Structure 1
Amino acid sequence: MGYDRRERKEVEWIPKTELGKKVKAGEVTDINTVLDKHIPIREQQITELLIPNLTVDFILVGQAKGKFGGGQRRIFRVSQKKTSEGNRPTFLTFAVVGNNDGIVGFGVGRAAETVPARNKAVENAKKNLLKIKRGCGSWECGCGEPHSIPYSVTGRCSSVTITLYPAPKGIGLCVTDECKKILKLAGIKDVWSRTTGKTSSRMNLIKALFDALKNLSKYHVQEKYASKIVDGVKR
């Protein structure tokens, strides 16, 4: 049989960072320990070992030209630069990863071809993880289960502002389809939202949503309510 260049051989991971060496040696086995101490993740294999059930999804940030003026949404946004050799295209894509249980990450990838751009986005997303606080902050529910967020929170990016509100169980995710992908991967099942600004810019809307999720960890909760909030993976 001939050699197929498309087949990629699996190379044994040799960690280069101190955290990577501890993870491979089995000294660090919990992703919450890494995120609580704010240790930067420089290698994607660290996330793959600590969170084996990670799910990857892509945001539809681009649009293909339609035959009669309409267009179909794509995961790649194409930009071209004019050079002496002709037009040089660049592909941009936005990847989201999560375990559906309080951990979510996002990353952006750019390259001259689609596959390298997609791989870069996934790699960057695995290095940029967030712990999401979940709870039941709706006065209409009060079940105490981590199906929503514990309190309202706001995120901003450029002119876009998004505010997330706790919702009772059964309401679902009252956000756009692309924001639903992120909240589902974060383990949030019910939420209300309100957006202002130029929300047609999906990149700014997604970045504003992640800014809101980051702000969930900036608030301190009283001890009598802290027991009802799940921070990160539910133990």
Structure 2
Amino acid sequence: MSQTTESKPQGGQRGRGTPTYGGGRPDAKGGDRPRRRREPEEEVWVPKTILGQKVASGEISSLEEIIELGLRIQEAGIIKKLLPDLKSEVVDVGIIQKMTSNGQSTRFKAIVAAGNENGYLGIGQGKSKQMRIAIEKATNAAYLNVNPIKMGCGSWECRCDQKHSVPFKVKGKGGSVTIEIIPAPRGLGLVAGGKIKRLLELAGLKDAWTTAKGSTPTMNSTSKAILDCLRQTFSQG
């Protein structure tokens, strides 16, 4: 009589009925259990400044109150706490190259705008050897530069009581770029270029005429000119 011997699977090999595709654990039916992806945990903001502690405790509840007191915002978490609906958007990215004694060095720069499309806008710039870090720096700077914008209807053609444009004509300058924003009647829309129009939309404007002079493709100067314009609506109004 011939005897048959069965060999056991060695080195982590499984039998024929238990496939090992993907390295997952076999379930009761012989298939693999899909691996669950860990969702990134949200970082809990811990205030480090006296102003941050007052905002976290509820003693200060608005950005306008901080500006009236003349306090300086040094934490992006303060803006995220006061304006939870704020969203950021990359406006422009570029490469900075220069020659050094060790050779050519390359860095990345990014410009990010943060706004809630309802009267708040901030613009920041960041530089780093990695694009991701440059965007993170620019986003943090944009939160720290968020300013309130006074909206209204300054057009003599409209004269409504809705907040859809600027309350009066404003002019701002950044570098070689000069931008002027003129109130427009309701329903006209934003008469502006692509990136300038997007920044005004993030600020919450729906109708306005704009004129721009200088090197407007340079977004660093253009974004500063727009922010200078919109700041005047709050300071002068």
For Structure 1 versus Structure 2, the TM-score category normalised by the shorter chain is 0.7 to 0.9
Report the structure number with the largest CA radius of gyration: 2
CA RMSD of superposed structures (Å): 2.1
Could you state the TM-score of these two structures normalised by the residue count of structure 2?
A: 0.78
Matched, 1:216 2:206: no
Residue identity in the other structure for 1:147: H
Residue identity in the other structure for 1:46: I
Matched, 1:23 2:55: yes
Matched, 1:119 2:136: yes
Residue identity in the other structure for 2:88: V
Alpha carbons 2:63, 2:148 under 8 Å: kept: no
Counterpart Cα distance in 1 of 2:118 and 2:50: 27
* Superposed CA offset, 1:67-102 (max 9, x none): xxxxxxxxx210112234432211111111111111
Matched, 1:153 2:185: no
1:130-145 equivalences under 5 Å are 130-145=147-162
Matched, 1:77 2:99: no
1:219-234 equivalences under 5 Å are 219-220=236-237
Identity %: 37
Q: Give 1:200 deviation, angstroms.
A: 2.8
* Superposed CA offset, 1:111-151 (max 9, x none): 11001100000001111111111110001111111100011
Could you state the TM-score of these two structures normalised by the residue count of structure 1?
A: 0.79
Q: Give 1:39 deviation, angstroms.
A: 1.9
**Counterpart among 110, 118, 134 of residue 127 in structure 2:** 110
Counterpart Cα distance in 2 of 1:136 and 1:41: 30
- Larger RCO (CA under 8 A, 6+ residues apart): 1
Residue identity in the other structure for 1:184: E
Moved more, 108-117 or 21-30: 21-30
Alpha carbons 2:121, 2:202 under 8 Å: kept: yes
Task: Identify the structure with the greater strand proportion.
Answer: 1
Secondary structure class of the residue paired with 1:133: coil
Residue identity in the other structure for 2:193: T
Counterpart Cα distance in 1 of 2:170 and 2:234: 10
Alpha carbons 2:123, 2:223 under 8 Å: kept: no
| Corresponding residue for residue 83 of structure 2 | 51
**Counterpart among 202, 207, 210 of residue 219 in structure 2:** 202
Alpha carbons 1:106, 1:128 under 8 Å: kept: yes
| Corresponding residue for residue 108 of structure 2 | 91
Counterpart Cα distance in 1 of 2:102 and 2:41: 35
Change (3 A) 1:12 1:195: closer
Secondary structure class of the residue paired with 1:217: helix
* Superposed CA offset, 1:28-50 (max 9, x none): 22233223333211111111111
Alpha carbons 1:35, 1:131 under 8 Å: kept: no
Secondary structure class of the residue paired with 2:113: strand
Moved more, 133-142 or 32-41: 32-41
Alpha carbons 1:57, 1:181 under 8 Å: kept: no
Which sections of structure 1, spanning at least 5 residues, go unmatched? 2-6, 61-75, 221-235
Q: Give 1:8 deviation, angstroms.
A: 6.4
Q: Which runs of 4+ in 1 moved over 3 A?
A: 7-12, 83-86
Change (3 A) 1:180 1:36: farther
Which sections of structure 2, spanning at least 5 residues, go unmatched? 1-22, 24-38
**Counterpart among 70, 73, 95 of residue 38 in structure 1:** 70
